[in-house]
Copies of this chain bind each other. A is one copy, B any other.
Amino acid sequence: MREEILAYKRERILEEAVKLFYERGFTGTTLDDIAAELGVTKPFIYTHFRSKVELLAALCRPTIELSLAAVQGAAEGAGSPTERLHRAIVDFTNVILSRQANIAIYFREEKNLTKEALDDINALRKQFDRVLSQLLQEGVAAGEFLVTDVDLTSLAIGGMISWAYTWHRPGGRLGLVDLSERMAELTLQMVGAHRAAGVKAA
């Protein structure tokens, strides 16, 4: 019970930190700013986080973990490589867009992380690329994809999707569901997936 309240406070701090770091940048935001937004004072934050950079790491890492989990979950699931890639992109896009601010902060403020936190996250990203490459490789082996360089194509796909954090505006022309679907279609077309291989929608 007290644990839950502690966790809730922690969550609220992170929430407000994400908002401000996103709008003003990491160094452009002071801990006093965050505290003020929460209606508390700076020492309050220090009872939950050891330092400003720990706060940064705490809002970056879980989001990268989610990205990895999305792709990994789909890759290890059932269905043809085409179906699994489709699902992987839809899920991954959803993570990127629903945690847009966290993603933006991570890529912008990477240099402010400690070496340990950075290494940690880089390991996750490496695994992300590996899982995606592997999935593409399976599709090639199954004769569903036409890809000459699976590693490069993984990077291209990852970039295409990740990049959405720079231009997506919630409430824009396309909703989250449509966007994910279109991104998946673009991806499948890029890897030369055949329609016959089992995509459900046209």
Specify the main secondary structure of chain A where it touches its partner. Answer: helix
- Choose from B157, B163, B179 the contact partner of A158 (Cβ within 8 Å): B163
Q: Assuming A149-B182, A182-B149, A190-B186, is B163 touching A28 (CB within 8 A)?
A: no
- Chain B residues with CB under 8 Å of A160's CB are 156-157, 159-160, 163
In the complex, whether A47 has a CB less than 8 A from a CB of chain B is: no
Bound complex: CA A121 to CA B174 (Å): 25
Verify A183–B163 contact, CB threshold 8 A: no
Among A2-10, A55-63, A73-81, A107-115, which stretch is in contact with chain B? A107-115
Interface residues of A (CB under 8 A from B): 24-25, 27-28, 107-112, 146, 148-149, 152-153, 155-164, 166-167, 174, 179, 182-183, 185-186, 189-192
Q: 6 pairs across A/B with beta carbons < 8 Å?
A: A25-B112, A148-B182, A155-B167, A156-B160, A158-B163, A159-B163
